[in-house]
Amino acid sequence: MSAALLDGKALAKRLNQELVRPRAALLPRPPGLAVVLVGEDPASKVYVGRKGEVAGRLGFHHRQITLPADTSEAALLAIVDSLNDDPAIDGVLVQLPLPKHIDATRVLDRVSPDKDVDGFHPENAGRLSQGRPRFVPCTPFGVMRLLDDVKIPLAGRRALVVGRSNIVGRPMAQLLEQANATVTLAHSRTAELPGLVRQAEIVVAAIGRAEHIQGDWIQDGAVVVDVGMNRLEDGRLVGDVAFDAAAERAAWITPVPGGVGPMTIAMLMQSTLLSAERRLTTT
């Protein structure tokens, strides 16, 4: 392996302990984060558990609301309403995916834009697309922070984002473009993905398919950010990029796990802190 690791775990820890925690301690009450989990998705349970652990370590007020898979949309909307109105709560996050009988868009639209620490409300998505963000989706926000930490130049460089979800790919492309990269957004219908990867100086993979991006597609000296988290049948956790072969060529690469995942949580904490600071200093 010749690539250097983009160590999200270490940076997340540093940001949490050195930035978020001391600032949270200055507030008259702790930042409040509510996380709503509907159903039994095993990966979601793990993610929600981690968010709770980190929030607890930082001294946040943390509330996890766990609901059965057959919860009605109306009941979920009522819970979102009550969290929107709760003065101890600064951030409201509804974990995705939601069960199929619930219209996820309607639920995300209901989260108050002032507490939408996920940045999924159309008002926040629209603000980001216009380059005047309030809350930025945590995963792409964390990727930008990770690239910034090791001073990877972005201006004028060719960046490829693979995946066009509202959670990762689309906001990721917008953030890279706003940092003056020349961005290509590839997706499941893209023709000739290997050729696009070969041209990219920065690759962000957010497709959700195990090791879909092969190592020999990566150009020498590229920066590879792997947002994927795929569980193989043998139990191994792998990203969307074939790590070992990609690391032979890349200059920088994120490990899976320990790359993007911890940064996502750190950015959630930072957004919740900012939300609390806004709420507590404007009233």
- Residues labelled catalytic: 51, 95, 118
Binding residues for ligand GUN restricted to 153-192, rule: CB under 6 A:
167
Does 16 bind ligand GUN (CB under 6 A)? Our answer is: no
118 binds ligand GUN, rule: CB under 6 A? yes
Residue 156: left if φ>0, alpha if ψ -120 to 50, beta else—which one?
left
State yes or no: residue 139 binds ligand GUN (CB under 6 A). yes
Residue 71 binds to ligand GUN (criterion: CB under 6 A): no
Report, in Å, the least distance between residue 268 CB and ligand GUN: 8
3-class secondary structure per residue, the chain: CCCEECCHHHHHHHHHHHHHHHHHHCCCCCCEEEEEEECCCHHHHHHHHHHHHHHHHCCCEEEEEEECCCCCHHHHHHHHHHHHCCCCCCEEEECCCCCCCCCHHHHHHHCCCCCCCCCCCHHHHHHHHCCCCCCCCHHHHHHHHHHHHCCCCCCCCEEEEECCCCCCHHHHHHHHHHCCCEEEEECCCCCCHHHHHHHCCEEEECCCCCCCECHHHCCCCCEEEECCCEECCCCCEECCECHHHHHHHCCEECCCCCCHHHHHHHHHHHHHHHHHHHHHHHC
Q: What is the footprint of ligand GUN within residues 242-271 (CB under 6 A)?
A: 264
Shortest approach of ligand GUN to residue 98 CB, angstroms?
9
List 93, 222, 224, 273, residue binding ligand GUN (CB under 6 A): 93
76 binds ligand GUN (CB under 6 A): no
Site size with ligand GUN, rule: CB under 6 A: 9
Binding segment toward ligand GUN, per CB under 6 A, in 2-10, 13-21, 89-97, 214-222: 89-97
- Measured from each CB, the residue nearest to ligand GUN is 96
> Which segment (13-21, 58-66, 69-77, 90-98) binds ligand GUN by CB under 6 A?
90-98
The label of the residue with tokens 């929030």 reads 55
Query: Going by C-beta distance under 8 Å and a sequence separation of 6 or more, which residues neighbour residue 13?
Result: 262
- Please say which residue, 77 or 96, places its beta carbon nearer to ligand GUN: 96
Interface with ligand GUN includes 138 (CB under 6 A)? Answer: yes
Are 113 and 134 in contact by the 8 Å Cβ rule? The answer is yes
Give yes or no for residue 83 binding ligand GUN (CB under 6 A). no
Q: Does 95 bind ligand GUN (CB under 6 A)?
A: yes
153 Cβ contact partners less than 8 Å away, ≥ 6 residues apart? none
96 lies in the site for ligand GUN, by CB under 6 A: yes
Nearest distance, CB of residue 247 and ligand GUN, angstroms: 25
Looking at 6-14, 92-100, 121-129, 184-192, which segment touches ligand GUN (CB under 6 A)?
92-100
Q: Give min distance, CB of 262 to ligand GUN, in A.
A: 13
What is the contact surface with ligand GUN in residues (CB under 6 A)? Answer: 93-96, 118, 138-139, 167, 264
